[in-house]
Amino acid sequence: MGYLTKDSSEGINHCLACGDIIEYGLGRQDRKFCSPGCKNRYHNKRRAQSWERYQQKIQKTLEDNHKILSKLLQLGLTSIDLVSLGRLGYNFNYVTSYHKIGRRSLYSCYDITYEATPSRIFHLESHWDSGSGLETEEGAVSVPEELKQRGCAVSGDL
């Protein structure tokens, strides 16, 4: 990508991998690479880049999800309906773990865990140990003591 691949005015093609001019012998006149080695290198790089983009997208989504959940906890909320959560931009396809224990569906996004029904999430809880020294962008999320003690008590309306 980014390389000039064809100069139509002169009929010269450049290798997509190294940028060298491709010498056409008796072979195909539409080759994009000067050698099989360059072709492999190019495709390996593309694969690596696309994997990297894929990873970054997942990481970004998880981070965005975490910010939303952190915000809810900061507001003292431990339960929210899925429609509202979706409106906040939460992406339900990305979690860091999922366990089904009996009838309970337990999810986590890094340190934050929650349970979910088809209509809402509840028992939203941060397991963050603020003593570990790491901080999020907005500072460590602190869960009010009373909320921690109440544990899973909140599951009704907001």
Which stretches of the chain bind Zn ion, using CB under 5 A?
15, 17-18, 20, 34, 38
Please say which residue, 18 or 62, places its beta carbon nearer to Zn ion.
18
Give least dist CB 22 to Zn ion, A. Answer: 8
Which DSSP string corresponds to 54-113?
Answer: HHHHHHHHHHHHHHHHHHHHHTT---EEHHHHHHTT--TT--SEEEEETTEEEEEETTEE
Please say which residue, 38 or 68, places its beta carbon nearer to Zn ion.
38
CB 143 within 8 A of CB 126: yes
Please say which residue, 15 or 95, places its beta carbon nearer to Zn ion.
15
Q: Is 38 helix (H, G, I), strand (E, B) or coil?
A: helix
Give least dist CB 31 to Zn ion, A. Answer: 10
Give least dist CB 25 to Zn ion, A. Answer: 15
Please say which residue, 46 or 127, places its beta carbon nearer to Zn ion.
46
